[in-house]
């Protein structure tokens, strides 16, 4: 069954938001490079790859359903803070926003009774729980660390261990 046009539009909008997320994290990465925190840089490198995978997963899904992928302009990323704590507050806010948008895509799938899309989107719903939890964990540690430079360096070391595991979506 061909994909519903409203469903297709919701996926195309979300593909753009995932690419925006990639762009936003790419912009945030430079702040940590300037601060000489390679572990944080590594964390953002992986985040960037994950966002691209999220976008590509939807891209391939729309094609698989016989739909049309329309790519839109990616907005200039707006990084609001300049300290690790400020940046991670924004990361959490952003992921919460993405969760709300994934839920909105799911709402469309329910509305048009697209059960295949709902099953596909389950992966994204679960992924957002993980995204918010992992970002929340870093944020909580940064709040504990405060102005303690040794604590910040210890967290940087911890984040250098993060590796990219290409997600199997759907």
Q: Is residue 48 within the footprint of ligand FEO (CB under 6 A)? A: no
Segment 135-164, which members bind ligand FEO (CB under 6 A)?
none
Shortest separation between residue 98's beta carbon and ligand FEO, angstroms: 4
Is residue 114 within the footprint of ligand FEO (CB under 6 A)? no
CA distance 51 to 23: 9
Residues 6+ away with beta carbon under 8 Å from 138: 43, 88, 91, 155, 159
95 lines the binding site for ligand FEO (CB under 6 A): yes
Residue whose CB is less far from ligand FEO, 48 or 109: 48
- 57 binding ligand FEO? (CB under 6 A): no
Does 106 help bind ligand FEO (rule: CB under 6 A)?
no
70: Cβ contacts below 8 Å, ≥ 6 apart:
12
- In degrees, to the nearest 5, what angle opens at C-alpha 154 toward C-alphas 95 and 156? 45
Q: According to the binding rule CB under 6 A, does residue 54 interact with ligand FEO?
A: yes
Q: Cβ distance 29 to 44 under 8 Å?
A: yes
Comparing CB distances to ligand FEO, the nearer of 96 and 145 is 96
Residues 15-34 that bind ligand FEO (CB under 6 A): 18, 21
Of all residues in this chain, which one has the CB nearest to ligand FEO in the complex?
Answer: 54
Chain length of the chain: 170
Angle in degrees, CA 102, 106, 111, rounded to 5: 145
């Amino acid at each position: 069954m061909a994909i519903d046009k409203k469903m297709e539009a919701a996926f195309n909008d979300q593909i753009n938001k995932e690419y925006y997320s990639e762009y936003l994290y790419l912009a945030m990465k430079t702040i940590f490079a300037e601060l000489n925190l390679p572990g944080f840089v590594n964390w953002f490198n992986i985040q960037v790859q994950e966002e691209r995978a999220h976008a590509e997963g939807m891209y391939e899904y729309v094609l698989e359903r016989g739909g049309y992928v329309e790519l839109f302009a990616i907005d200039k990323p707006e990084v609001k803070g300049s300290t690790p704590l400020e940046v991670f507050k924004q990361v959490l806010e952003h992921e919460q926003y993405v969760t709300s948008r994934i839920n909105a895509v799911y709402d469309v799938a329910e509305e048009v009774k697209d059960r295949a899309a709902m099953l596909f989107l389950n992966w994204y719903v679960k992924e957002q729980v993980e995204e918010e939890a992992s970002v929340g964990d870093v944020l909580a540690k940064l709040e504990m660390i405060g102005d303690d430079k040794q604590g910040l360096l210890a967290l940087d070391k911890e984040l250098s261990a993060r590796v990219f595991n290409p997600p199997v979506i759907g």
